[in-house]
Structure 1
């Protein structure tokens, strides 16, 4: 705990003289002892290892089995397609994984290449990898910190630590401060400087106390280095489904073959049928269809400013019910803004916008002093320097008191820089031959050095009543989480030296500023809450500021729903996990706290999304189910650890992405249920025909052909179905929920049963038309006659058309599990309509072109029979629409009651 040790004690413990630094020899010895000052990453997996790791999946095993089977029955085209699907999936997985695991590499790149150190009594520049504990580091503005440092000297030192702490303004550092509390948060360690942060103002010196993996950044790298690769909900669902279908396929093969043995059928024909049906029972296009649907979803999401790095993250977003969001830049605009001014008897709210405002006489003096007493710049919408000073200059622009014009008219001739002890800054400006001191800083310090006040353009004595008036206004602004700054001035006929500047001042007024919320975020939070999603704010900022923003946005209702990092440390892990649901705001937290918060939410079965931009967010981004990094302000580390990157850094985009994720999951579910319904129909038609001692209604080649036209285009078309506009009116899906929840399983069984039975009915009808009643047993000589074979071919053709057409029409009803096809728009999914038309045309071509008809064992059918098969084919669609109608009617009745 170097922050709690006096500088002398720290230097003694590290055995170094600050005026001389380490000797070259000692530095070399320590370099050998502690190693290079760079972060370590875990060994990379080879591309071959990555490739084979993608094949460790039950569904992939089933697909490979199906490929072997199709090669055995000489259906080489299908075998090639299946193998291509497997290889394509593995290649996509390798590319995604190779891109995704770059968090530690990004951390290594963040370390500064050069550092100023004092060695052998001289200041020299060395590679930061050569920095060792005990080195004396010289700091100045614009220089990155190469290691964790205990400051030994500081003069107006400010360090940008937002990547570690999340705070939107640089931290003021003071080497003389001694901190006793061992649980002091990183953001409050004012006598320390940390690796990869940036000096923005002032100068300082410090002694290195930790390098490489022992630094705060290094601790984050260790967390990132841990393996934490959990399956996403979609991967778990598909894994379970793959196992089920695999066992089902094996069971079907065995069952049909056993029945064929008992019935003394042609064993080779039944073997081929059993194998074909097993292949038909497995939707071999499922993996490819899911990959295509996710890939198309990624493309759509990129158009709404969300770049997805890992395909399964699209689906996982749909089940998110907790959004843990960083405050600065995500919920807020990441720029300090003056929202209130106060001069005696005049409190004014500054409206948002760029309209020019008319100042009162006192207000004009207040704004002028603030602008002249600032070192920042702001031109063409871009500012440089301290964010607080940038906000003051923007306020000047609003009152038509621009910095350039004021600087030109009132040349600065002297200054007294900001000091953390005084909490004041002063400048001396020439004004028409006279001089004026402009001072800004903490209002209580200004009141101590002021003797008069400005009231309606006149200077009046500073009475206790006036002091109370200023202090009351300050307290009210502070309670609203505003940062308060005061301004005062003093006129003189001669140049004043720095020591005399801050005496006998005239107090003018104060301003209140805040990093304001994004305008669109409030509506997005309301939408998220309506969708059953709980927004959580996690920030390194102060508690009051965080709660004020959270209340304004609708995240929290009171300060009782907030918790600080220090309070988290005081709670036992079990208690914290139990009470986590009572909190909406977490303030002054460390990287470890963020991970702890995410873990606690996940322990309750929640699917957690974590957003962030800094190095400090990276571990929690990795541990969350969905890590969302900011594209504009985000560090490379955060982007490397995330699953998704927002190109506009906007919370609203997260909500839009969740909506897209929900629709994508629903679309995948539609495709899966549709495929299973179709495949079940095929299984029922073959299995029942064998149980009834009927001829087999479909040949192996016919089954494979139907699989080709129904398992491809219609399934993909369902996968890219336009989104349901009411999807965000429902609660998030339970991550443990199976594909068959909410009646989907029942509908799949009903649909499959109807498709199978109607296929058999069409087959029976075709045989009956030719004078054969297959419910009665037929003599062997009859079944071998040419008339019987002609009738069998005709009946199989009718079954062939019904099986294909009923599946194609049924896809229309699968677009929504509750709304009718007319309510959602019959022609809204043009790809689905096209796939149905193409499927029917292909069926007609197979039947009507002689060489194709002969290859598939089919025959052209009469116009009357076309009418019959099409009528049969519409039954599953009609039944499913009737079921949906009664579901809606039942729900409406229940709602009315």
Structure 2
């Protein structure tokens, strides 16, 4: 670590010197050895590879196999329909995947375009990609750092490192420091500069020690390049479901083969029957429906100021039980703000500052005049701490431009990091006020008097003790404390060396990066919903804990862990303690990843929010990464699954609510589709097992699965959400997709299957003229009678499933309690489905393609009664459920 080496040691290691730098030849040798100073980016995926990636699913494999067999057996229409489903599903997936990861590209853009270096004794400006280790780099205010540097010289240098370390205020740098210790956090390496950080004040000279992928930013790039398990809970459940359905389909096909051999059926007929059962076992539209429901969820999120970059993230939000949040800019406003003041023996909030009080007015004037920053509604420049002082003045209608016109500056002593003081001389009528501000300890050493209650009194040990106590109390509240002092001169002929002596202390101000006003309520909602909020920040421990207390994240100081402590403990020890920690302070990007992994190891679904470059690796490795849209860096946005357009923590809570409702709707959709498919399997399986003709043709099943089922399934996917969904605890990601729904699924599947077989038997008996009870299915059925019977079975299967969709809206509430028309899309899909079914039966070309027969009025009466049975029976069951719940409650 170069922070532990002396300037002489570092120069010697790179065979460079401060006056001459590297020669052109030496720089070329270094470039051959280390390469260009740029970040590597991954080769983008081709459309073809993305297409094949979409096909890597067991459900798709089975569909492809079914399509191939159908084509070989001459069932072209079946093969074409299946192929269309596969292509549509892959296309939707590619559209989403085409928003490929841009994190590394964004990191690359962070590199500064030019750097000022010494080459062969000459100062020249070169493209930053040409910087090599050993180059002497010159840094001044407003310039980005081109690579990692060990400082050689500094003059009041301040660096804004918030995007890398999370430090909310610029860091003072000092080249003369030589640090000791093994684990020095990046934020404490005061003699180092890091690539892509910004110089806000002063100047410095450093030697390039790391370039490109070897820099701290480069390490982040490597972490972003690591492959992580990006499967969401729903994707895992659907993958398990696909395997289960695939194995089930193969088992049913094998069983049917055995039955066919025992029944001495025709081999061609057996193959067709097996295809029918395989198609019946698999809900072909499920992958596309889930994708479309998630895509609709994305549109809802946009209206709530959340842009979802990766579709599955919509559903993942619903199962989040831990939100790990960066502090600076996420929980806080990312702007230093004066919150307290002390003047004239009065301590209060800045809003209560009284300009009619001479001490308080002088305190504010001091902080505005002794200030090198600028502030207006449209622009602000300079140090964030000084800008905060000007904002406090503006809130009291005192503006720097106006005040300086009234009291012009005639002399000054600039701020220096070793003095930690700044002084100006300003003209007040015929007098000259020396205005000094700075660290209270340094200021007290040069003050001999204090301005208290309108009187200037000597600073006694008691007064000094009181002032230090007030300063310490502010510091304990994580406030950054600044003191102000003055004295009056009668002449402008001043001795600069004597300005900062014999001063009169006016007072103190305390400032902090304050919490966002709405965040406290959002954290309370999270707590009530069983969601833990954890703060992870690069800021100091006391600052982080103070913000955590104010936001009600924790009041226990033992629930705070520092980055140094993280380095000392093993992963196993962290895993054991992780449940009791609510604040992680002074952490590096590597620490953040370690923390997220520890939470995930306990089976948690973790959301990570952040805005800086330092947050990017943890955003990527979390189950769902959430980046800030306004203050967030491109790197953070590129690594995240979701971007908040308003940078509002509360938007995450709204998104989680939406995610929970979307998962519930997807669950309804899946259970609906599987229960319908179970009905198809039961109808086919028992008919074939009993040696009857097949009640349904393959094209009938495909039509039902792709059109009749799909329309209401999509409508269920956008069912109005439960307003009380945030009152429940997060669902366990290990829970089955069918939890609390397996009995309903099985019984409704059985009911639909029996109703379909009933329609088939009634049609067969009616059109064969065999009205005897036994045998149940007449033998020697003519083709026309069989087509009639299959048509009735086809209509009942289709219509009963459409009606069954109404049952899926709620487990206990009647459809009439919920409101029959509260989901107009569902009613529309049912009406459309019924109309399409009627068209197929009544329009001759369609009837011919589907091998169906026109039905009489009596037939329609039979199928209508049978199709309504799922709704009638489910309403009766729900009534008993409600009565049972009331009894238990009483």
Q: How high is the TM-score relative to the length of structure 1? A: 0.94
Partner of 2:467: 470
The equivalences for 1:162-173 within 5 A come to 162-173=162-173
User: What do residues 539-577 of structure 1 show as CA deviations (whole Å, max 9, x unaligned)?
Assistant: 011111111111211211211111000011121221111
Between the aligned partners of 1:17 and 1:560, the Cα distance in structure 2 is 48
1:329 corresponds to 2:329: yes
Identify which range, 855-864 or 804-813, moves more after superposition. Answer: 855-864
Q: Distance in 2 between matches of 1:401 and 1:118?
A: 45
1:475-513 deviation line (CA, Å, top 9, x unaligned): 221111111111111111222343222111111111111
Counterpart check, 1:407 vs 2:401: no
**What is the aligned partner in structure 2 of residue 518 from structure 1?**
516
Q: 1:549 to 1:381 in 2, by over 3 A?
A: farther
**Which 5+ residue runs of structure 2 have no aligned equivalent?**
none
Aligned residue runs from structure 1 range 298-697, under 5 A: 298-351=298-351, 358-380=355-377, 382-495=379-492, 496-697=494-695
Distance 1:143 1:235 in 2: 46
2:830 to 826, 833, 836: 836
- Per-residue deviation at 1:884? 4.0
- Find the counterpart in structure 1 of residue 704 from structure 2: 706
The alignment partner of 2:696 has SS state of coil
**Does the 8 Å contact 2:485/2:507 carry over to 1?**
yes
Q: Distance in 1 between matches of 2:312 and 2:699?
A: 35
Match of 1:762 in 2: 759
Secondary structure of the equivalent of 2:816? coil
2:11 is matched with: 11
Residues 1:359 and 1:725: Cα distance change in structure 2 (over 3 Å) = farther
Deviation at 1:176, TM superposition (A): 1.9
Distance change >3 Å, CA 12–CA 703, structure 1 → 2 = closer
RMSD of Structure 2 on Structure 1 (CA): 2.4
Residues 279 and 698 of structure 2 are in contact (CA less than 8 Å); yes or no, is this contact kept in structure 1? no
Greater shift, 214-223 or 44-53, is seen at: 44-53
Q: Aligned equivalents of 2:47 and 2:701: distance in 1?
A: 38
Structure 1 residue 149 and structure 2 residue 149: aligned?
Answer: yes
Q: Work out which of the residue numbers 795, 815, 822 in structure 1 matches 2:816.
A: 822
User: Which whole-Å CA distance do the structure 1 matches of 2:845 and 2:44 have between them?
Assistant: 55
**Partner of residue 289, structure 1:** 289
Q: Distance in 2 between matches of 1:382 and 1:735?
A: 48
Q: Is the 8 A contact 1:764 1:774 kept in 2?
A: no
In the TM superposition, residue 74 of structure 1 has moved relative to its aligned partner by 4.4
Structure 1 Cα separation of the partners of residues 674 and 372 of structure 2: 69
Distance apart, 1:728 and its partner CA: 1.6
Structure 1 residue 137 and structure 2 residue 123: aligned? Answer: no
Change in 2 beyond 3 A, CA 1:506/1:685: same
Instruction: Output one character per residue of 1:730-759: Cα deviation in whole Å (capped at 9) or x when no partner.
Output: 222222222212x22221111100111122
Q: Which residue pairs with 2:721 in the alignment?
A: 723
Match of 1:847 in 2: 841
2:344 and 2:454 in contact (8 A); partners too: no
Distance 2:777 2:120 in 1: 109
- Cα deviation, residue 83, structure 1: 2.2
Q: Distance in 1 between matches of 2:290 and 2:87?
A: 15
Q: Assess if the C-alpha contact under 8 Å between 2:679 and 2:749 holds in 1.
A: yes
State the Cα distance separating 1:308 from its structure 2 match. 1.4
Q: 2:868 aligns with which of 865, 874, 883?
A: 874
Deviations 1:824-853 (A, max 9, x none): 332121111001011122223333445544
Deviations 1:226-274 (A, max 9, x none): 2224422222222222222222223333333433443355665554344
Give, in angstroms, the shift of residue 865 of structure 1: 5.0
- Contact 1:608/1:624 (CA < 8 Å) preserved in 2? yes
Q: Compared with structure 1, are the counterparts of its residues 358 and 806 closer, same or farther at alpha carbon in structure 2 (3 Å cutoff)?
A: farther
Shift of 1:98: 4.6
| Mapped partners of 2:593, 2:289: distance in 1 | 35
- Quick check: 1:436–1:491 contact (8 Å CA) kept in 2? yes
How far off is 1:593 after superposition? 0.5
CA–CA distance in structure 1, aligned partners of residues 649 and 20 of structure 2: 51
**1:802-828: CA deviation from partner (whole Å, max 9, x where unpaired):** 211110111011123344323433212
The answer on whether the counterparts of 1:747 and 1:880 sit within 8 Å (CA) in structure 2 is no
Do the aligned partners of 1:694 and 1:774 also contact (CA within 8 Å) in 2? Answer: no
Q: Deviations over 1:289-323 (max 9, x none)?
A: 11111111112112212111211222222221111
1:59 and 1:779 map into 2 onto residues whose CA distance is 34
Cα distance in 2, alignment partners of residues 270 and 367 from structure 1: 92
Residues 274 and 472 of structure 1, relative CA distance in 2, 3 Å threshold: same
Structure 1 residue 202 displacement after superposition: 0.5
Aligned pairs for 1:79-228 (under 5 A) are 79-228=79-228
Aligned-pair CA distance for 1:337: 1.3
Deviation at 1:585, TM superposition (A): 0.3
Take 1:334 and 1:779, find their aligned partners in 2: how far apart are those partners?
77
Contact 2:161–2:171 at 8 Å: present in 1 too? yes
Verify the 8 A CA contact 2:764 2:777 in the aligned structure 1.
no
Deviations 1:647-670 (A, max 9, x none): 212211112222222222222221
| Residue 547 to residue 302, structure 1, CA distance change in 2 (3 Å) | same
Task: From the superposition, tell whether residues 65 and 434 of structure 1 become closer, same or farther in structure 2 (CA, over 3 Å).
Answer: same
Counterpart CA distance in 2 for 1:107 and 1:308 is 21
- CA distance in 1 between counterparts of 2:412 and 2:182 reads 38
Contact 1:147–1:215 (Cα < 8 Å) also in 2 = yes
SS in structure 2 opposite 1:319? coil
The answer to whether the 8 Å contact 2:187/2:586 transfers is yes
CA deviation digits over 1:435-460, x for unaligned, max 9? 11111111121111111111223322
Q: Quick one: distance in 1 between partners of 2:549 and 2:652?
A: 20
Q: CA deviation at 1:867?
A: 4.1
Tell me how far apart the structure 2 counterparts of residues 28 and 127 of structure 1 sit (CA, whole Å): 14
Instruction: Specify the SS of the correspondent of 1:66.
Output: helix
529 and 820 in structure 1: CA distance in 2 versus 1, 3 angstrom threshold: farther
Could you say if the C-alpha distance between residues 124 and 807 of structure 1 is closer, same or farther in structure 2, counting changes exceeding 3 Å? same
The answer on whether the counterparts of 1:767 and 1:773 sit within 8 Å (CA) in structure 2 is no
Residues 562-621 of structure 1: per-residue CA shift (max 9 Å, x gap): 100001112122111111111000000011100110111111111111111111111111
Query: How many residues are treated as equivalent by the alignment?
Result: 888
Cα deviations by residue, 1:383-438 (Å, 9 ceiling, x for unpaired):
32211111111111122212121111111112211111111111111221321111
Q: Give the TM-score normalised by the residue count of structure 2.
A: 0.95
Q: CA deviation at 1:193?
A: 0.7
Gap change, CA 1:342 and 1:819, over 3 Å in 2: farther
Superposed CA offset, 1:690-738 (max 9, x none): 3344443334443333334323211111112222222222222222222
Distance 1:439 1:419 in 2: 13
Question: Residue 58 and residue 114 in structure 1: after superposition, are their counterparts in 2 closer, same or farther (change >3 A)?
Answer: same
Does the 8 A contact of 1:678 with 1:752 survive in 2? yes
Q: CA deviation at 1:358?
A: 4.9
Match of 1:724, SS?
A: coil
Residue ranges of structure 1 left out of the alignment (5+ in a row): none
What secondary structure is seen at the aligned counterpart in 1 of 2:818? Answer: coil
| Cα distance in 2, alignment partners of residues 842 and 52 from structure 1 | 34
Partner SS state of residue 462, structure 2:
helix
Q: 2:741 aligned with 1:744, yes or no?
A: yes
- Report if the CA contact (8 A) 1:767-1:774 is conserved: no
Shift of 1:855: 4.9
